[in-house]
Amino acid sequence: MLKPFLLFSAVILFLIAPTPAPTLASGRTPQAAAPASTNPVKPTAASQEKAKKLYAMDCAICHGENGNGKTDLAKDMQLTLDDWTDPKSLAAKSDQQLFDAIRKGKDKMPPEDASRAKVDDVWNLIIYLRGMSKGQPAAAPPATAPPAAATKPGN
């Protein structure tokens, strides 16, 4: 009486079991190719030094040496660039958003090609950018910031 049931189960198992296997075995795009959603990189003095050089070569011309976005080229191209020396400017943006902007480009910003900056280099650039608001002479004491400042209209 049990036999047909067992046979049936065996058939089911046979049908189900192999299914996940090929998916796992088939060489899917390696994880490394897809950028992680939070910065996976631990900055070192050397990697940040490299980020600084990369920034100076590829980014400062528009975003400014200190990241405030007040450059002649930005003016000429009529770019509206965020002032990264202001901690609020990047606070609302995720690392992933910044990664995509850098790698894919944004508006008039050219994409940073993989031949110039590897995945880890881009993550290090993001750490470097986020550091631009630190160690700046305080522009305004935090107490004077209006509470509504957190919700800045999107750009």
As a whole number of Å, the CA-based R_g of the chain is 24
Contact between 101 and ligand HEC (CB under 6 A)? yes
Q: Binding marks (x or -) toward ligand HEC, 1..40, rule CB under 6 A?
A: ----------------------------------------
61 binds ligand HEC (CB under 6 A): yes
Q: Is 63 in the site for ligand HEC (CB under 6 A)?
A: yes
Amino acid at 57: M
Q: How far is the CB of 75 from ligand HEC (least distance, A)?
A: 11
Query: Does 59 contact ligand HEC by CB under 6 A?
Result: yes
Residue 82 engages ligand HEC in binding (rule: CB under 6 A): yes
Cβ–Cβ < 8 Å for 107, 69: no
Q: Does 51 bind ligand HEC (CB under 6 A)?
A: no
Of 149, 11, 3, 23, which is closest to residue 86 (Cα–Cα)?
Answer: 149
How far is 81 from 78, CA to CA, in rounded Å? 9
**Phi and psi torsions of 56, nearest 5°:** -60, -35
Q: State which residue, 110 or 145, has the beta carbon closest to ligand HEC.
A: 110
Q: Which residues pair with 109 in a beta bridge?
A: 106
- Three-state DSSP class for residue 109: strand
Cα–Cα distance measured from residue 86 to residue 64, given in angstroms and rounded to the nearest whole number: 13
Q: Which residues ranging from 123 to 152 are in contact with ligand HEC (CB under 6 A)? A: 125, 129
Residues that bind ligand HEC (CB under 6 A): 58-59, 61-63, 79-82, 93, 98, 101-102, 106-110, 112, 125, 129, 155
